[in-house]
Amino acid sequence: MPLYGVNSTGSRAAAVLSSLALLCFCFAFSCCPSGATAMPPGSRSAVVTVDQSGKGDHTRIQDAIDAAPANDSAGRTVIRIKPGVYRRKIVVDKPYITLTGTSADSTVITWNESWVAVDSPTVSVLASDFVAKRLTFQNTFGDAAAAVAVRVAGDRAAFYGCRFVSFQDTLLDETGRHYYRGCYVQGATDFVFGNGRALFDKCHLHSTSPVGAGGAFTAQQRSSESEDTGYSFVGCKLTGLGAATSILGRPWGPYSRVVFALTYMSSTVRHPGWDDWGDPAKQRTAFYGQYQCYGAGSKTDGRVAWSHDLTQVEAAPFITKAWVDGQQWLR
């Protein structure tokens, strides 16, 4: 059966990989290696507002980020964003930035650009200790190519009540430890992807893949056994446009690791659950599992033989905030 976008996605993956490799190289010499950022004094935070009507401290979100102190010890900068549609790309290149909206429906950051360069995503989080609340991040490019809404490449990032909307490659959870709670992610192909270590807590993933097009919820990229990355979905909800539209994931990296626990799966999840992306060797190295999921798409008897129906003991490491060392940095 032709898998949607195997060829184009494969070459896209190679292109992304090579540009990301370059970028990671640069980053190694500039900022934020994981865990190296000093915690600021907890009590100090500055609050600024962004309001397109001119009544706040800034009219553009980027201006508020640019004006924030680069020095970690200055504390956190909370940027309150008034409702509106903000049509600009955003780069978060300083640690301890919080972006908050009033509601995700009313506060939208949007852009229209396919993946042509590392700065193509609508929002790029490059620094550590980022927090976002009640915002919609959108890339309106559509179904013709990969188009990232948010790229998360900083350590210790947390998203609460946010919406991520695109079609192919919506959320690039690329590197670092990340926590998503009560978020909504929409896409069709590989729409949560990258080599991050992430916990999705009570999130809703909605596939817009057409029936027969071979949609995939995830494409996690873990590349070796020594990497501690992987995606864990706990208490989440998976829906789609019809029956049997999408698989749970496919291995962008050979050691791809994804677990769904205590999650509702509608009939949109195809019975095999996972595939090896045309490389049977990855069946031996990828780690895909589910634990106590429910709904018509959750049945494990039709799953590929190399995926796991996890026991409580096997699922335990994945299903608490400890998966992302949250006890150290999540409030």
Ligand X SMILES: *[C@@H]1O[C@H](CO)[C@@H](O)[C@H](O)[C@H]1NC(C)=O
Amino acid at 71: N
CA torsion, points 325, 149, 254, 8, in degrees to nearest 10? 180
Provide the Cα torsion 290, 178, 321, 227; round to 10°.
70
Given the complex with ligand X, which of 111 and 180 has the nearer CB atom? 111
Catalytic residue among 190, 201, 275, 276: 190
Question: Is 190 annotated as catalytic?
Answer: yes
Can you spell out the DSSP letters for 4-55? Answer: TTHHHHHHHHHHHHHHHHHHHHHHHTTS--TT-SPPPPTT-EEEEEE-TTS-
> What minimum distance in Å lies between the beta carbon of 17 and ligand X?
23
Query: Which tokens sit at 158?
Result: 């947390």
Alpha carbon distances (Å) from 224 to 5, 89, 230: 25, 33, 11
Q: Which of 7, 11, 18, 71 binds ligand X (CB under 6 A)?
A: 71
Smallest gap from Cβ 267 to ligand X, in A, equals 30
* Of residues 73 and 224, the one with the C-beta less far from ligand X: 73
- Residue 45 makes contact with ligand X by CB under 6 A: no
* Residue whose CB is less far from ligand X, 137 or 141: 141
* 3-class DSSP state of 173: strand
CA-nearest of 46, 131, 68 to 329 is 131
- With contacts defined by CB under 6 A, how many residues of the chain interact with ligand X? 5
Distances (CA, A) of 103 to 72, 76, 294: 28, 21, 30
Q: Considering the complex, state which of residue 86 and residue 217 has its C-beta at the smaller distance from ligand X.
A: 86
Position 73 contacts ligand X (CB under 6 A): yes
Q: Minimal distance in Å, beta carbon 55 to ligand X? A: 28
- The SS3 call for residue 186 is strand
For the bound state, the minimum distance from the C-beta of residue 111 to ligand X, rounded and expressed in Å, comes to 9
Cβ of residue 69: shortest distance to ligand X, in angstroms? 8
For the segment 84-143, give every residue that binds ligand X (CB under 6 A): 112, 140-141
Give the nearer residue to ligand X in terms of CB position, either 110 or 239: 110
Binding residues for ligand X (CB under 6 A)? 71, 73, 112, 140-141
Q: Which residues form the catalytic set?
A: 190
